[in-house]
Structures are given as C-alpha cells and as structure tokens.
Amino acid sequence: MPGVRGRSIIVPTLERNPHRRKPIDPQPPCLYNDRAMPPKTRIHALLEKERTLIFPGVYDALGAKLVERAGFPLTFISGYSVAATQLGLPDFGYLTQTEMVATAKRVCGSVKIPIIIDADTGYGNALNVIRTVNELIDAGAAGMFLEDQVWPKRCGHMKGKRVIPVEEHVQKIRAAVDARRGRDFFIVARTDARQVNGLEDAIKRCLKYKEAGADALFIEAPRSGEELRTIAKELPPPLVANMLEGGVTPLLTKDELEKIGLQLIVCPLTALYASAKAMQEMFNLIKTKGTTRDALERLLPFTQFHDIIGLDDYYKLDEKYRTKDGD
C-alpha cells in the first residue's frame, strides 16, 4: 500500500523490547570492590545479579538467537564484524551510523536478551552522539560503546590510531548521558589512548569520562595481565575486558578476569572468526570433493536449524491466516 511502511510478521520490536520507552526504575545500590554504584539499567541489574558477565559478540540476528539459546544474558554487536560481513571491509571507519542502526534494529528485534552496540565514536561530534543515542534506543538497544578515537576510527588492536582531546570526549559522554533522558541505556566510555599516549593517560581519561556520567569504563588494548591489574586498581567498576583472539591483550578466563577486578568481559570476534573458518573449510570441500555428503556431521541438520529460527511458529501463523482454496 503506498505510503505505508511494510512490517515483518515477527512480533514488533516494541513488544519484544518494552524497555524502549520505559524510564529507569530506582533500585537499591550494589557494591563492586566495596564501592557503591546505583543500578540503573538492565545491564546494571545483570551485574548486580551475576557480578561478572561474559558474552560473545554477534553481527546478525541468527548469531543473537544462538547466543540467547546458549544461555548468555546479553550480547554485543561488533562494528568490526558488521563492517566485515556487510561491507567486506576492515574496521577502518567505513561503517556509517545508519548502517549500524539498521543492523541493531534487526538484531534487537529478534531476541529478548539486551544488546550493547558498538557505536564507534558516535559518528561525529557531541550533536551526532545525541542522534546516535536516540536512534539506538529506538532500535531497541540496551547500551553503547563510545570511543575517543579520531574519526575515521579503526579497530582498537590495529596500528595507527589517534585520539581526540580528552575534553572533547568528555562533552560527547555528557551529550550521550543527557540524550538518554532517564531511559534504559547503558553507556560505556572507551579510550584508545593506551596505544597512543600510554596507560597513565588512558587511566586519567577514563576518570574524567566517569565524572561525565559514563556507566562503565573500557581501556582498549592493554598489553599484559599487569596492565589489566593496574586498570582494575585505578578505575571504578564496572570495567570492560576485551578478549579478542589475535589481539594485543592476553586471553584470560572469566575467573581470572573476575579475580583481577573486571566485570564486563566481551568476546567480540569469536563468532566471526569461527564462522569464517567453517565457511572457508566447507567451500574448499565443495570445490575439491564436489559434495558435502561425507561431511554432514560438520553441519547443523536441516530440522535443527529450522528450530533455531522458529519455523514451527511460522507454520502455525501461516495456518491461522491462510484462506481456503477457492475463497
């Protein structure tokens, strides 16, 4: 129908994610390393319940469904992964705000668990950050990572990064907090200053970002366990640890990171690297053998995959609205 936006038959995002318009409810304070922090959002509530959260990153709705079925309480949409899978490009600032918001809307509408979005630098200045926050909340997101790189940015474990002046990012954090307007949205302030200016400057920046209203802090790409311990000692929780396979930060277990004093442990690229390897191997098999007949155990069965995407529910929906032949 002209002038009317089409809708998927999937339950609308607002019904799956009623938090989108819901103000933050006051809750009693909780303690992290003996320091009080008032819970405000669903992410705060999860931290209060589980103390330390580990969660994989995804880049599409199927991945989010698999994360939810695996029992994780939340997930993360990685800009690196979205750039790679949707554009076939490196995480070099090619991904735009509209592309990331569109991905967030599809993925957040497919599951019930909260999802934090990699919002890069907010795609511009403080005013752009305000728009980004509102767009992500409308998409159903539960929070965002907001970093202090110069735009166009690049993956935090790549060389050649630059950071903006600390006061400029302080203003961007303040803009994000103001734009939230009491809604359920968790703001993670990320700094990439470790590679550029050293760990001391990264810590000083994070302290200012916390004063500006950030809910959590994230120093990207520490290079050792000792640096992680220094971060946990010098900064207030909750703190993010980025466990990126092949990156500069050592891969530690959830228990090891919890003992150090880190509360949000994201594995942003595991799914991307695992799926790319699986596809590469199967494509090579088809090319060399001409069939997958002798490797079916390496694939999800037809019926099991349909269970993941809820095919039976759509059969029922189809039956409910199908007209009789001849009508």
DSSP 223: -
For the domain with range 13-275, which CATH number is right: 3.40.640.10, 3.40.190.10, 3.30.470.160, 3.20.20.60? 3.20.20.60
pLDDT for 4 beyond 50:
no
**What element of type H or E holds 130?**
helix 126-139
pLDDT at 38: 43
pLDDT digits (tens, 9 = 90+) for 306-318: 999 999 999 999 9
pLDDT digits (tens, 9 = 90+) for 78-96: 999 999 999 999 999 999 9
CB-CB contact of 60 with 133 (8 Å): no
For residues 147-165, give the mean pLDDT.
89
pLDDT digits (tens, 9 = 90+) for 110-139: 999 999 999 999 999 999 999 999 999 999
pLDDT at 159: 85
- C-alpha dihedral (300, 303, 305, 308), degrees to nearest 10: -140
Parallel, antiparallel, or unpaired for β 216-219 and 75-77? Answer: unpaired
**Predicted TM-score (pTM) of this structure:** 0.87
pLDDT at 178: 95
For residue 294, the Cα-to-chain-centroid distance in whole angstroms is 37
Supply the mean pLDDT for the chain. Answer: 89
pLDDT at 18: 53
pLDDT digits (tens, 9 = 90+) for 5-42: 343 334 434 445 555 544 444 444 444 444 444 448 99
pLDDT band at 325 (very low <50, low <70, confident <90, very high): confident
For residues 250-259, give the mean pLDDT.
98
pLDDT at 1: 41
CB-CB contact of 257 with 241 (8 Å): yes
User: In the chain, what are the domain boundaries?
Assistant: 13-275, 276-320
3-state SS assignment for residue 191: strand
- Closest to 234 in 3D by CA, of 255, 265, 262: 262
pLDDT for 218 beyond 50:
yes
Token look-up 């991945």 returns 63
Parallel, antiparallel, or unpaired for β 143-147 and 115-118? Answer: parallel
For residues 184-193, give the mean pLDDT.
97
Phi, psi of 283 (to 5 degrees): -65, -40
